[in-house]
């Protein structure tokens, strides 16, 4: 896999290569045979922002480690195949590409003699197991498409700051039970200890990196880090993964903030035994204990005030602060997992999210207390391991205003729309790379309507026209903010809002 240095040490050779590559292909017919009138025409760029983007989403959606379903986890064989495809699309958009030491793919355009901070765009290339094709991929491909339009229109050279697309190697955290391996490395918050974390088969992050010819040392991880001074902002396009925009009949929304999340692993140890011979009264069965804990978690999150002690309530549980509190057990494993054996051990994952960090922390504490209590009652031994926590993340108000404006003008421009109302403003219950990137820079997010609010499922669906709207809104945002002539105009317009 092609490796190259991070942008702090970008040799100007990269720039020269990128510019000459641009000059070499700046005809009006492009690699995929799609034609675009060099920025002329109706200015809606349907061929690239809709048709090609959708084709590419489908292509990426087929690159899977699973037979007949989509699964692409951190540095899996499919993710390496996907890397090559994404790199080729970035090149096609006139970008200089490299893969960093955590497997993140970068595609950057650096205007000549520009020392300003970069605008970063992107999302994640990994997926959950049995995933849909839009979660993550939509943000990567829309960003590449928007820059391809700028390239074809001859506007990349007029960028007033470097613009870079990043396809993050891991956001879902499926393989290592953690999240943001990719974006946290870029933000510089990935601890060195991550190298020793192992997956279910005992393979560590370090093993996987080495297997794929990465250096896999703490120093190498440090190379993936961007300095805060080199970055101006990060913008992510993502499918909504919820039903709000569909209900509002609006294709795009902007995100005010992202819920905080905690992930735990609960390990329940009991007495393994024969299913036919051990009387019910003498059992120490970790399966039923786990079942009780799963139901306890559900009750706690449905009706927190019923469970909390006076101290835990701390006066913070108003209806508003409880909004968005959700708790999930998504994975439960038993050992030895046979129908005629009382299990010896059961472990399961817990995912707790809330907009209010205090609420989330209190739920984590009270669930941990309830686990110990219930396990004592059932004479099993339980441990709660803390896997991951991220605080709620506000999006930057100024960026959000710019995105809102870009979304509004886009929606009114597209065929079939006369006047567009205000762009909806949403909170995100799902986690996003923007959470990790917020440790590095200002973040903004654009949400795209999806069918039925369904995500993390092969049933994920975004209408082709909404994919188009997302790409066009991102293009408008980039044009209005980082293309020379329009930047000042846009700032003045926003100031007037
Ligand atoms: C990522 O998709 C998450 O919110 O779990
Ligand atoms: Mn996801
Ligand atoms: Mn996602």
Q: For residue 433, give the CATH number of its domain.
A: 3.40.630.10
Identify the residue with better confidence: 347 or 21.
Answer: 347
Residues 122-142, mean pLDDT to the nearest whole number: 98
Q: Which of 123, 170, 171 to mutate to test the pocket of ligand 1 (most atoms within 8 A of CB)?
A: 171
Residue finishing a domain among 390, 418, 438: 390
The per-residue pLDDT for 172 is 95
Residue nearest to atom 1 of ligand 1 (CA): 431
Quote the CA–CA distance of 407 and 418 in Å, as a whole number: 14
The verdict on 93 and 108 lying in the same domain is yes
Of 390, 408, 423, which residue sits at a domain end?
A: 390
For residues 364 and 460, membership in a common domain is answered with no
In this structure, which long-range contacts are made by residues 487-496, counting pairs with CB atoms below 8 Å and at least 24 apart in sequence? Answer: 487/160, 490/402, 490/405, 493/405, 494/398, 494/401, 494/402, 494/405
Eight-class DSSP state of 418? S
Decide: helix, strand or coil at residue 439: coil
Q: Does 69 share its domain with 164?
A: yes
Tell me the average pLDDT across 332-360: 96
- In angstroms, the CA 315 to CA 391 distance is 20
Q: Which pLDDT band, with edges at 50, 70 and 90, does 422 fall under?
A: confident
pLDDT at 285 over 90: yes
Q: List pLDDT tens digits, range 104-125.
A: 999 999 999 888 999 999 999 9
Q: Three-state SS for 357? A: helix
d(CA 432, ligand 1 centre) in Å: 7
Same domain? 469 vs 334: no
Asked whether residue 20 is assigned to any structural domain, the reply reads no
Q: What is the number of other CB atoms lying within 10 angstroms of the CB of residue 276?
A: 7
Give the distance (Å) from ligand 2 centre to CA of residue 445: 15
Alpha helices in 212-285 (DSSP H): 218-223, 244-248
Using the mean position of ligand 3's atoms as its centre, give its distance from the Cα of residue 127 in Å. Answer: 8
Q: Is the pLDDT of residue 469 over 80?
A: yes
Reported as type and span, the H/E element at residue 300 is: helix 286-302
Q: Are residues 364 and 472 in the same domain?
A: no
Inform me whether the pLDDT recorded for 2 exceeds 90.
no
Tell me the angle at which helices 397-413 and 484-496 cross, rounded to the nearest 10 degrees.
Answer: 100
- Compute how many other C-beta atoms are within 10 angstroms of the C-beta atom of residue 211: 11
**Mean pLDDT across 372-381:** 97
DSSP state letters, 148-200: HHHHHTT-GGGBSS-EEEEEES-SS-TTTS---HHHHHHHT---GGGGG-B-T
Residue 440 structure tokens? 């590095």
Distance 40 CA to ligand 3 centre (A): 34
In angstroms, the CA 257 to CA 270 distance is 42
Question: CA 90, CA 14: separation in Å to the nearest integer?
Answer: 14
Cis ω for the linkage preceding 336 (within 30 of 0): yes
Give the domain CATH number at 273.
3.30.70.360
Which ligand is nearest to the Cα of residue 237, counting in written order? 3
**Which of the ligands is closest to the CA of residue 330?**
1
Report the phi/psi class of residue 124: left, alpha or beta, with left for phi > 0 and alpha for psi in -120 to 50: beta
Taking the C-alpha atoms of residue 431 and residue 261, their distance in angstroms, rounded to an integer, is 8
Q: Average pLDDT of the chain?
A: 89
Q: Which residues surround ligand 2, an ion (CB under 5 A)?
A: 135
Asked whether residue 267 falls in the same domain as residue 373, the answer is yes
Between CA 419 and CA 417 the distance in angstroms is 6
The alpha carbon of residue 342 and the mean position of all alpha carbons in its chain are separated, in whole angstroms, by 39
- Whether residue 166 is found in the same domain as residue 244: yes
CA distance 34 to 152: 11
More confident of the two residues 139 and 414: 139
Q: What is the DSSP string of 124-136?
A: E----TT--SSTT
Strand partners for 347:
267, 333
User: Helices 53-61 and 464-482, interaxial angle, to 10°?
Assistant: 110
Q: Are residues 253 and 271 in the same domain?
A: no
Residue pointed to by tokens 């009780």: 292
Is 277's pLDDT higher than 50? yes
131 backbone dihedrals φ, ψ, rounded to 5°: -90, 170
Average pLDDT, stretch 214-233? 97
Please count the structural domains in the chain.
2
Identify whether 4 is part of a domain: no
Residues 134 and 210 in one domain: yes
**How much is the average pLDDT of 251-256?**
97
List the one residue out of 147, 180, 151, 152 whose CA is nearest residue 165: 147
Extract the tokens encoding 432: 């996003």
Tell whether 29 is covered by a domain.
no
pLDDT at position 20 is 37
Q: Is pLDDT at 250 greater than 90 in this prediction?
A: yes
Atom of ligand 1 nearest to the CA of 430: 4
Q: Do residues 53 and 97 both lie within one domain?
A: yes
Instruction: Verify that 186 and 70 share a domain, yes or no.
Output: yes
Ligand 1 first shell, C-beta below 6 A: 172, 430-431
In contact, 94 and 109? CB cutoff 8 Å: yes
Domain membership of residue 371 as a residue range: 262-308+324-390
The pLDDT of residue 312 is 58
């Amino acid at each position: 896999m092609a490796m190259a240095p991070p942008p702090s040490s970008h040799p100007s050779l990269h720039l020269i290569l990128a510019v000459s590559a641009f000059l070499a292909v700046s005809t009006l017919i492009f690699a995929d045979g799609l034609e675009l009138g060099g920025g002329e025409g109706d200015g809606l760029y349907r061929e690239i922002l809709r048709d090609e983007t959708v084709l590419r989403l489908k292509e990426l959606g087929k690159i899977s480690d699973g037979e007949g379903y989509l699964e692409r986890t951190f540095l899996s064989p499919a993710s390496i195949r996907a890397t090559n495809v994404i790199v080729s699309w970035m090149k096609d958009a006139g970008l200089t590409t490299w893969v960093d030491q955590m497997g993140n793919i970068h595609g950057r355009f650096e205007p000549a003699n520009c020392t300003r901070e970069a605008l970063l765009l992107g999302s994640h290339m990994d997926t959950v197991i049995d995933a849909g094709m839009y979660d993550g991929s939509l943000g990567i491909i829309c960003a590449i498409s928007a820059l391809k339009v700028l390239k074809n229109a001859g506007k990349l050279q007029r960028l007033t700051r470097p613009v870079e697309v990043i396809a993050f190697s891991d956001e879902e955290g499926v393989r290592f039970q953690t999240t943001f391996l990719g974006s946290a490395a870029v933000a510089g918050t990935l601890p060195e200890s991550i190298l020793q974390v192992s997956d279910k088969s005992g393979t560590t992050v370090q093993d996987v990196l080495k297997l794929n010819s990465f250096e896999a040392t703490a120093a190498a991880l440090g190379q993936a880090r961007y300095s805060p001074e080199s970055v101006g902002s990060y913008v992510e396009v993502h499918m909504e993964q919820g039903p709000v925009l569909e209900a509002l009949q609006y294709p795009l929304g902007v995100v005010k903030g992202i819920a905080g999340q905690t992930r735990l692993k609960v390990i329940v140890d009991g007495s393994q035994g024969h299913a036919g011979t051990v009387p019910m009264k003498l059992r120490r069965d970790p399966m039923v204990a786990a079942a009780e804990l799963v139901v306890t978690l559900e009750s706690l999150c449905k009706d927190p005030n019923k469970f909390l002690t006076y101290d835990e309530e701390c006066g913070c549980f108003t209806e508003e602060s409880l909004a968005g509190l959700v708790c999930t057990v998504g994975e439960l494993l038993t050992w030895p997992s046979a129908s005629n054996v009382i299990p010896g051990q059961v472990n399961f994952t817990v995912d707790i999210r809330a907009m209010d960090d205090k609420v989330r922390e209190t739920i984590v504490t009270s669930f941990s207390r309830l686990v110990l209590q219930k396990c004592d009652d059932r004479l099993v031994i339980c441990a709660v391991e803390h896997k991951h926590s991220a605080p709620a993340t506000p999006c930057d108000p100024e960026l959000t205003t710019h995105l809102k404006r870009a979304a509004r003008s886009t929606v009114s421009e597209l065929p079939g729309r006369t006047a567009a109302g205000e762009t909806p403003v949403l909170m995100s219950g799902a986690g996003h790379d923007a959470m990790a990137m917020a440790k590095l820079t200002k973040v903004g997010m654009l949400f795209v309507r999806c069918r039925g609010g369904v995500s993390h499922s092969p049933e994920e669906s975004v209408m082709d026209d909404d994919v188009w709207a997302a790409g066009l809104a991102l293009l408008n945002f980039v044009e209005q903010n980082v293309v020379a002539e329009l930047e000042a105009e846009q700032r003045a317009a926003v100031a007037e809002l």
